[in-house]
């Protein structure tokens, strides 16, 4: 086909991961714990390996080795229990032993406002989206450490008084705790604050949460000591009046890639956004503020250093000044682009169905096998392909290849006789683990048998059904500028299989980045991508698969010579099948206005029987998209194939015309994500 200062108590780290036990327990390791002594029938021991979401470790300040605690990994060393009642939740959360506690039901606190006193070495994680705590929350007292709270909805302790001074009913409160990770939760409508980090609590990371419908969102401080170190990233703070957060006397407060939104026309009005108080030193990076009054404020004694933030419809104080610190002195991190933050967080925060799904005694599926890859030799394999090679042919159950952070310059192929493979990065970010190579269509093969061709140029090639990839980057960094003498289509990821699930990945290249193919013209090949990025310029999402790009960011990239021109999609759909669907996403990039088409029909090999299809719906289109977003290709008219839009927004959207067909409501009802996927519901396993 034609993208400082350091304190004595810190030990500097080069990665965001805690060292220690492996990120995923083997099935044998979990089974080795045996039955839980005294466990009631309402709480069951897991009999299979804990998924990576359960055994993951924190990033940010919670990853730092200090105070005798090397990072934050919760109850990973202990037994896994599933709870559905308040009694069982409290029993295991307050125990002295480590536990991974999977909340698999809605649990109502009694009395209202109850805060369970969580003890050290605990992971409390919701099972899919079913884990909900109603009318109360959690309290972490002095000295409590190594606690993870993830994937829960904690809600509705509200007592009818907006600025409630009588009821200290928080979702999560800590007084003197350290090494705490609060991640992927939905916190709302409580009687006091949603999160309170108080009384010298430190080494805390708060990430990927939605905080909403509350007077006080997030308070930090309540002490004269300048001790607290806290990382706050990728949180959507919406419809909250104050403490967004309020940060008092924090030694180091690192806030990045957060989205603060005060929606117009509601009864909740913001009084301020990020507040640096007392002796706080705050670094505020690549965050997005929309509609907030006084979005960034500071005391005369406090510091705020702003970098790369965006303010839309804000008013009042927006302040900065004072001395900075370098967060990378303490941990590694990668910033997402500020412009991408609203879309990224709207699709990515809060509980997710793929987090915390832990098999219990009643689960009949076979346990997943985990293979570890690490460039430094600390894993079972040093290359990803070596781990793939170790997967048995025709394996009957899931094999997870857990890849430690690093850049893996290699070609990876998952052959058709190795289904049920997951390749996932084990770092704190999808940027931490990178698989990259630089073959192009015209690159000569080393054996002299010709060139690779477009499909053969892929860095990662997937030919096995039921494949999953998550939390990593797949890239093709072929240098077009230096090799204009050869065909420069260069694929990062090629899929030629059914039921391919891409979750939380970056697929990056220039021309022909993501090839969604099928095993044969008459074979069905479904691909579902979510919470991800695709980066490229020419035909960079292309092929004949039935493919969905959902809740993701499509980043347009300039050509090798600096010009802006390109095509997002090039479907080659077989007649009677569905093609490419882009839904609930964002299309943007640092390119010229009106320089990119949404797509063109690829009749591969001149095959006139093909019926290419691209639908783009409920998606934000930047000004880079042409007002006539579809175009012809190789003598085939786009008007003879299937190209349409529905309820897109943004500067690049437009009204219906003969050159810009729009689906009717009735037509759109038959072009939903579920229509593309049919009898397949993607889920983490």
Contact indicator for 146, 199 with CB cutoff of 8 Å: no
Instruction: Give the burial class of 382: count Cβ atoms within 10 A of its Cβ; 0-12 exposed, 13-18 middle, 19 or more buried.
Output: middle
Catalytically annotated residue among 175, 539, 550, 641: 539
Whole-Å CA distances, 180 to 75, 201, 344, 394, 415: 12, 9, 24, 41, 41
Backbone φ and ψ for 240, nearest 5 degrees, come out as -130, 145
Q: Which residues contact 193 (CB under 8 A, 6 or more apart)?
A: 170, 171, 173, 214, 216, 217, 218, 219, 243
Note if 186 is an active site residue. Answer: no
Distance CA 261, CA 241 (A): 10
Beta carbons within 10 angstroms of residue 142's beta carbon: 12
Note if 168 is an active site residue. Answer: no
Distance CA 505, CA 515 (A): 15
Distance CA 409, CA 402 (A): 16
The 3-state DSSP class for residue 389 equals: helix
Beta carbons within 10 angstroms of residue 135's beta carbon: 21
Contact indicator for 499, 465 with CB cutoff of 8 Å: yes
What does DSSP assign to residue 429?
S
User: What are 236's two structure tokens?
Assistant: 């959507």
From the list 435, 453, 434, 433, the residue with the least C-alpha distance to 443 is 453
Catalytically annotated residue among 59, 88, 175, 512: 512
Instruction: Give the burial class of 662: count Cβ atoms within 10 A of its Cβ; 0-12 exposed, 13-18 middle, 19 or more buried.
Output: middle
**CB contact burial 292-325 (16+ within 10 A = b; e otherwise):** bebbbbbbeebbbbbeebbbeebeeebbbebebb
From the list 405, 403, 356, 353, the residue with the least C-alpha distance to 129 is 353
How do 99-103 and 210-221 pair as beta strands? unpaired
Whole-Å CA distances, 622 to 259, 311, 563, 619, 648: 19, 18, 17, 10, 10
From the list 181, 234, 144, the residue with the least C-alpha distance to 18 is 181
For the chain, how are helix, strand and coil distributed in percent, rounded to 5? 10, 40, 55
CA 553 to chain centre: 11
Contact indicator for 118, 75 with CB cutoff of 8 Å: no
User: What are 651's two structure tokens?
Assistant: 């500067």
Q: Is the peptide bond before 257 cis (omega within 30 degrees of 0)?
A: no
Distance CA 219, CA 216 (A): 8
- Strands lying side by side in the sheet with 303-307: 44-45, 79-83, 99-103, 122-126, 145-150, 178-183, 202-207, 228-233, 250-256, 281-285, 303-307
From the list 514, 684, 651, the residue with the least C-alpha distance to 582 is 514
25-30, Cβ contacts within 8 angstroms, sequence gap of 24 or more: 25/49, 25/50, 25/55, 25/76, 25/370, 26/369, 26/370, 27/367, 27/368, 27/369, 30/80, 30/367
Instruction: Give the burial class of 498: count Cβ atoms within 10 A of its Cβ; 0-12 exposed, 13-18 middle, 19 or more buried.
Output: buried
**Residues with catalytic function:** 512, 539
């Amino acid at each position: 086909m034609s993208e400082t200062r350091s304190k004595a108590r810190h030990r500097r780290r080069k990665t965001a991961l805690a060292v220690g036990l492996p990120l995923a327990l083997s099935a044998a390791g979990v089974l080795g714990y045996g039955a839980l002594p005294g466990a009631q029938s309402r709480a069951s021991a897991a009999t299979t390996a804990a998924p990576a979401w359960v055994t993951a470790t924190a990033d940010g300040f919670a990853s730092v080795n200090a105070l005798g605690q090397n990072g934050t990994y919760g109850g990973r060393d202990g037994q896994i229990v599933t709870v559905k009642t308040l009694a069982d939740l409290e029993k295991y959360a307050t125990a002295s032993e480590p536990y991974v506690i999977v909340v698999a039901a809605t649990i109502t606190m009694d009395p209202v406002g109850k805060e369970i006193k969580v003890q050290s070495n605990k992971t409390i994680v919701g099972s899919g989206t079913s884990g909900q705590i109603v009318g109360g929350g959690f309290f972490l007292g002095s000295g409590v450490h190594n606690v993870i709270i993830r994937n829960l909805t904690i809600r509705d302790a509200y007592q009818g008084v907006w600025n409630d001074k009588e009821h200290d009913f928080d979702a999560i409160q800590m007084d003197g705790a350290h090494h705490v990770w609060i991640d992927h939760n939905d916190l709302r409508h409580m009687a006091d604050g949603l999160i309170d980090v108080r009384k010298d609590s430190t080494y805390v990371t708060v990430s990927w949460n939605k905080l909403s419908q509350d007077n006080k969102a997030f308070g930090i401080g309540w002490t004269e000591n300048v001790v607290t170190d806290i990382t706050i990233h990728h949180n959507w703070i919406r419809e909250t009046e104050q403490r967004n957060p309020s940060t008092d006397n924090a030694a180091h407060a690192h806030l990045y890639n957060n989205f603060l939104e005060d929606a117009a026309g509601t009864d909740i009005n913001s009084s301020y956004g990020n507040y640096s108080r007392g002796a706080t030193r705050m670094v505020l990076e690549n965050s997005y503020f929309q509609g907030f009054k006084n979005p960034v404020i500071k005391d005369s004694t406090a510091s705020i250093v702003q970098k790369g933030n965006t303010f839309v419809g804000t008013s009042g104080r927006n302040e900065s000044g004072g001395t900075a610190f370098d967060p990378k002195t303490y941990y590694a991190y990668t910033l997402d682009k500020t412009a991408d933050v609203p879309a990224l967080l709207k699709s990515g925060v809060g509980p997710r169905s793929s987090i915390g799904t832990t098999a219990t005694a009643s689960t009949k599926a076979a346990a997943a096998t985990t293979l570890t890859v690490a460039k430094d030799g600390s894993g079972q394999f040093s290359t990803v392909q070596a781990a793939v090679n170790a997967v048995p042919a025709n394996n009957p159950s899931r094999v997870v290849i857990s890849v430690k952070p690093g850049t893996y310059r290699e070609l990876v192929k998952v052959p058709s006789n190795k289904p049920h493979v997951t390749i996932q990065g084990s770092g704190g970010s999808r940027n931490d683990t990178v698989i990259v190579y630089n073959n192009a269509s015209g690159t000569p093969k080393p054996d002299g048998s010709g060139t690779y061709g477009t499909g053969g140029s892929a860095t990662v090639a997937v030919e096995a059904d039921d494949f999953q990839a998550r939390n990593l980057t797949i890239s093709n960094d072929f240098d077009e500028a230096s090799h204009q003498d050869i065909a420069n289509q260069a694929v990062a990821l090629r899929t030629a299989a059914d039921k391919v699930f891409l979750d939380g990945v970056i697929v990056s290249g220039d021309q022909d980045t993501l090839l969604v193919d099928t095993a044969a013209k008459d074979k069905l090949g479904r691909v579902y991508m979510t919470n991800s990025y695709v980066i490229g310029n020419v035909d960079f999402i292309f092929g004949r698969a039935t493919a969905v790009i959902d809740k993701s960011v499509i980043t347009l990239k300039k050509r090798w010579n600096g010009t802006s021109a390109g095509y997002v999609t090039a479907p080659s759909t077989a007649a009677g099948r569905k093609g490419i669907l882009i839904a609930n996403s964002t299309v943007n990039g640092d390119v010229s206005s009106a320089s990119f088409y949404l797509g063109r029909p690829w009749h591969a090999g001149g095959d006139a029987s093909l019926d290419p299809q691209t639908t783009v719906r409920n998606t934000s289109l930047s000004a880079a998209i042409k007002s006539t977003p579809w175009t012809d290709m190789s003598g085939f008219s786009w008007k003879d194939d299937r190209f349409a839009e529905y309820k897109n927004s943004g500067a690049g959207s437009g009204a219906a015309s003969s050159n810009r067909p729009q689906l009717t409501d009735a037509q759109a009802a038959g072009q939903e994500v579920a229509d593309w996927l049919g009898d397949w519901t993607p889920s983490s396993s």
